[in-house]
Structure 1
């Protein structure tokens, strides 16, 4: 509780609960609700242009004076294209959706430099990283603006590298987390998979900066456990996707509420990088022995775009990108502020008097 209190005081929070910066699933309305109830809002800006980042920040600040973080992926080296293998993927995907043009894999990501400038311009409480570390020059610019750097890591080794590079807080992402694995190297996402109950205390012992537990947290018992393991706060993503402020499609919301831990799966089928999804029919088919290997990121993201768009249009969860953590079924379908309040009040009761839920 002392660690949590110190973390809240340092970052201007009332509750040590952070919204996970889920790219494409963090409308300003959700962050506003979380921040107005004392948590920290978030936006994953991966697919946002600088002007879209500006607009998100403007919308947030029109309705909240609370805190938020902005998150971005560290760019990876250009990938080597393989037209023959991509053709196999397109043929496979066409059995799940409309025809996939050959040029669909020519995905162009927003300008990273301009995104970084927009994040600095916004002056959030924190800028967070995933898939690697920001450059020393950008870290210096963050410090100059009084912005804290929250670094997402998946191993003790990555945590040490982040601290040495100047990170202010470590976001320890367990293998239970929904969405993309934050490993610095794509090949490590599955081969170096560590669960949160092992990861948090190991990182706490290895670094001197605060650690935030992330991955598979959607319940007061899990928050209490994370704090007992040494975390100063927790970060929750899937646990907020059933709130009305998240604006999650109803079919996706319903699926989250019915997904047992064993019915999620780490897959590269949606984007080319490993992420945890509901084990939909498509995810299962894409992992079959006779299925083609996914193209690398971001090529696979472009190739699956027609199928995902169709899924959204017709409300078919089996054709949608349905990221979810292993605690998905614990997510509550209620207003985000109410969810946040109940989570923290119940956590405090567990830690203060040993109450069981």
Structure 2
């Protein structure tokens, strides 16, 4: 409780609960609801251009004056992934079974990371969080100049130590239970080092001197209490909020989350080319068959699955949706986001005798 109280005091929070910055699933209304409940809002800005970043920050500030973080995905170093026409054709043929056949695949994201960083700094969030690597030193300097804290997402103790040396203000320790993309610094290590939160949090807490925020598979008061007992100062929740009405999720996705046992999620490269935990949908299961083509590297696979994912959203069909979900998905409640945050903290305090 002392660690949690100190963290809350440092960031203007009433509860040590952060909303995961989920790219594509972080509407301002959801972040504002978490902020009004005393937690920290979150924005996954991976897919946002500078104008959209500025607009999101303005929208959430119009709804709440609480703290929020904005997250950027650190791009892989050059060169871009190699192109293989035959392999791309095989993937396109396979995906034609699940929607319009993809054409004109792109090996690059159209949004400049440097421009995103500039827009994020101009937006002045409480914290900027990184994933898939560390912010460049010049970005870290700019964050400090604007009094924006840096939360570094890590998946190993080695990455945590690198982040602390680079100047991170707090560590987001992402356990392998987490929904969405694995935040490993090196893509080839993401599946080889699937460390669960119970092992990851205490070893990182022992290794670093900055606060640790536990994230991955946390969805209720029991998870929060466990994370604090392991040494964390706060928790970050994502899937736990996706059934809230403010998330405005596709009904099929929200229903799938509510029905999913831990074994109904899996780590797959089938959507983007990078490993991420999702519901085991028909498409994911088909992509695992021996006769299915191997996914293309990121972001080629993401480009290739674009038509299928659009079909899923339009038709509200889980078979085609990129349905990210953590292992504790079934604990997510279909109720207001503010009530979820408030009840998790109230139940945790009762458990702790506070």
- SS in structure 1 of the partner of residue 83 of structure 2: coil
Aligned to 1:319: 320
- SS in structure 1 of the partner of residue 22 of structure 2: coil
**TM-score, with structure 2 as normaliser:** 0.98
CA contact (8 A) 1:74 1:132 kept: yes
Tell me the CA shift for residue 109 of structure 1: 3.1
CA distance in 1, matches of 2:244, 2:11: 25
2:3 is the counterpart of 1:3: yes
Correspondence list, 1:334-345, <5 A: 334-345=335-346
Aligned to 2:95: 93
Aligned to 2:224: 223
Structure 2 unaligned blocks of 5 or more: none
CA contact (8 A) 1:154 1:173 kept: yes
CA contact (8 A) 2:81 2:107 kept: no
Aligned to 2:45: 45
Structure 1 unaligned blocks of 5 or more: none
Correspondence list, 1:15-54, <5 A: 15-54=15-54
- SS in structure 2 of the partner of residue 187 of structure 1: helix
CA contact (8 A) 1:107 1:302 kept: no
Tell me the CA shift for residue 84 of structure 1: 1.1
Correspondence list, 1:138-217, <5 A: 138-217=139-218
Tell me the CA shift for residue 107 of structure 1: 4.8
CA distance in 2, matches of 1:27, 1:107: 25
CA contact (8 A) 1:175 1:193 kept: yes
Q: Deviations over 1:77-127 (max 9, x none)?
A: 3211111111100000001111211x0335533111111011100111100
Tell me the CA shift for residue 199 of structure 1: 0.3
CA distance in 2, matches of 1:146, 1:19: 21
CA distance in 1, matches of 2:7, 2:288: 41
**How many residue pairs are counted as aligned between the two chains?**
352
Q: Deviations over 1:134-181 (max 9, x none)?
A: 111110110111010000000000000000000000000000000000
Tell me the CA shift for residue 63 of structure 1: 1.1
- SS in structure 2 of the partner of residue 159 of structure 1: helix
CA distance in 2, matches of 1:270, 1:29: 27
Aligned to 1:112: 113
Correspondence list, 1:254-293, <5 A: 254-293=255-294
CA contact (8 A) 1:14 1:38 kept: yes
CA distance in 2, matches of 1:300, 1:105: 9
CA RMSD of aligned residues (A): 0.8
CA distance in 2, matches of 1:306, 1:42: 27
CA distance in 1, matches of 2:212, 2:239: 20
- SS in structure 1 of the partner of residue 186 of structure 2: coil
**TM-score, with structure 1 as normaliser:** 0.97
CA distance in 1, matches of 2:110, 2:344: 36
CA contact (8 A) 2:107 2:298 kept: no
CA contact (8 A) 2:212 2:234 kept: yes
CA distance in 2, matches of 1:302, 1:204: 38
Q: Deviations over 1:223-254 (max 9, x none)?
A: 10000000000000000000000010111111
2:307 is the counterpart of 1:303: no
Deviates more, 1:176-185 or 1:311-320: 311-320
- SS in structure 1 of the partner of residue 159 of structure 2: helix
- SS in structure 1 of the partner of residue 191 of structure 2: helix
- SS in structure 2 of the partner of residue 306 of structure 1: helix
